Structure 1
Amino acid sequence: MYSGYYQRAADLAGADPVVWERLTWSGLQQLREQGEELVVLPVGATEQHGPHLPVSTDTAIATAVCAYGSARARVPVLPTLSYGVSVGHTEQWPGTVSLLHETLALSVREMVGWLVAQGWRRIILVNSHFGNHATLSVAVDRLRFDYRELIQIGLVNSYALTREIEDYFTCDGEDIHANRAETDLMLYLDPEACDMASVQDDPDRTEGTVFSYLVPATSKNGVTGRPSEGTAERGRELLREMGEALTSLLIKARTETAPLETQSAGHPTVYPFSGSRP
């Protein structure tokens, strides 16, 4: 039996995920010898999510979606990165613990260096926190250059796996946070951690703005959206939709090739431990 978010995802998917930290080194080696090249890295955050959701929300969603995809596609899923770039939330509300952009980017690059050294050649980052996207995009851009002939690497956002999923996530605001969709998911994944007696809606105030603002300048309570409309039933179905979309993507990622066959001018630049590199 798995615990927490893994178990919720396993129950919904009807199968157990391939959980990296529960495997031995020989078990992982066996996967590689059987031809598995693909691995999934969930990325979340630890940050305030209004007065009603736990600070683990983004991490919980990333973990559950990836666990579902792992269970269905039989792809190993790495431990979730539970700290992300949450500086936009500032210290206004307790609970946020953030990395700086360069720290997250370098951490991902160093982790991928270890994976490459062990023979993993296809890597998908699955991000569940809006604030991580720019930083993870930079990290992927650098990694595809450094390991240009060795790996295929991609980044997807769990809240935008399909157009329908993205539309639902943004149905109560473009600059959403702790909103209806996230509340749906957490009411299904971890209802005991949710305090719906304290839920407070707060509208998106960023429409038409020219500048980018810190969250305390746009939200009164750390929320943007209508979380009061959230339900566990919708959360269950939303997790299934997200999990099935990720499953399809992972199956495709196992065999996808570049649109054009290319050759580098020289050997690829390999930086297994990029902390010592520029």
Structure 2
Amino acid sequence: MYLADRTWPELGDALSEESVAVVPLGSTEQHGPHLPLATDHLIAEALASAAADETGVVRTPTITVGVSPHHRQFPGTMWVDPPAFRDYVESFTRNLTYHGIDRVVFVNAHGGNVQHLREVGRRLHEDGTAYALEWMWDESIPELVDDLFEHNGPHAGPKETAMITHIAPELVRDDQFENARDGGLVDLDGSDAMVHGARTFYDSIDNSANGAFGDPTDVTPEKAEQLFEAAADQLVQLVEWLDARDREELLPKDRVA
């Protein structure tokens, strides 16, 4: 159920005490020459919608701008500073708890948000306000991603290309697939991104001139559907697991005597 489509009288029962919500979060940032800037938040929203439809939990509006300064050199990329992002998401989540929600899944589709969402979850858990988990879609199905694509790439590669091919094919510039591959970086592991155990880069442009990593020419509609359905199924199972937990077992444990 999408919260913002309902009237307030319709939300009374849905927002009863001890309920679950899914919060989609992504970014508005460059995704190579072949994918829209909306890629991450479109993926998060589509997966959160699928899980909410399947389980009946509440889906909130999408947080569309995340921590993306490492893509700032590419026109159109938007970002907020990490402290502002953490404070906003924490305040957003505390607002949900006012209405009775005490368990939250941050349905995340942007790597730059991960550590900050985990920190927000820790804060909320520490004071007993809510139990909030960060969930990153591709981390839920790593074996399938590896099986489907030879050169995944961490950003604007075949896995994200496949997801947008399934969700919003009209936004995919498939005539730019070869340009994305040839003008980007296909194999990050084979580059000098890591030297003697040190990460040598700060911005994506340091490694990829067009912002793409991996080989999107490997994407097909069949692979795209398989990837989306597998990730959505993992999210549904997580939501059902969380919904079945008693609040008491999720609260911080007492100090050891």
Residue identity in the other structure for 1:96: T
CA distance in 1, matches of 2:8, 2:250: 34
Per-residue deviation at 1:211? 2.0
Per-residue deviation at 1:38? 0.3
Q: Deviations over 1:160-201 (max 9, x none)?
A: 12343464588525x611101111111121111111112221
Per-residue deviation at 1:151? 2.1
Q: Deviations over 1:111-163 (max 9, x none)?
A: 111111111111111110111111111111112113x2x42221111111234
Question: Which residues of structure 2 form unaligned runs of 5+?
Answer: none
Partner residue of 2:13 out of 21, 26, 30: 30
Partner residue of 1:84 out of 66, 69, 84: 66
RMSD (Å), alpha carbons: 2.2
TM-score, scaled to structure 1: 0.81
Stretch deviating more after TM superposition (157-166 or 249-258): 157-166
CA distance in 1, matches of 2:148, 2:66: 20
SS at match of 2:209: coil
Contact 1:59 1:128 in 2 (8 A): yes
Per-residue deviation at 1:62? 0.3
Contact 1:39 1:78 in 2 (8 A): yes
Aligned residue for 1:9?
none
Give yes or no for the alignment of 1:162 onto 2:141. yes
Residue identity in the other structure for 2:125: R
CA distance in 2, matches of 1:68, 1:36: 22
Distance 1:170 1:80, change over 3 A: farther
Aligned residue for 1:178?
156
Contact 1:168 1:181 in 2 (8 A): no
Residue identity in the other structure for 2:38: S
Partner residue of 1:243 out of 212, 221, 232: 232
Percent identity of the aligned residues? 26
Aligned residue for 2:108?
127
Partner residue of 1:187 out of 151, 157, 165: 165
Distance 1:90 1:176, change over 3 A: same
Contact 1:42 1:80 in 2 (8 A): yes
Stretch deviating more after TM superposition (108-117 or 164-173): 164-173
Residue identity in the other structure for 1:186: I
Partner residue of 1:253 out of 223, 242, 250: 242
Residue identity in the other structure for 2:143: E
Aligned residue for 2:33?
51
Aligned residue for 2:77?
96
CA distance in 2, matches of 1:208, 1:62: 29
Distance 1:56 1:238, change over 3 A: same
CA distance in 2, matches of 1:27, 1:169: 43
Question: Which residues of structure 1 form unaligned runs of 5+?
Answer: 1-17, 266-278
CA distance in 1, matches of 2:92, 2:107: 15
CA distance in 2, matches of 1:88, 1:165: 28
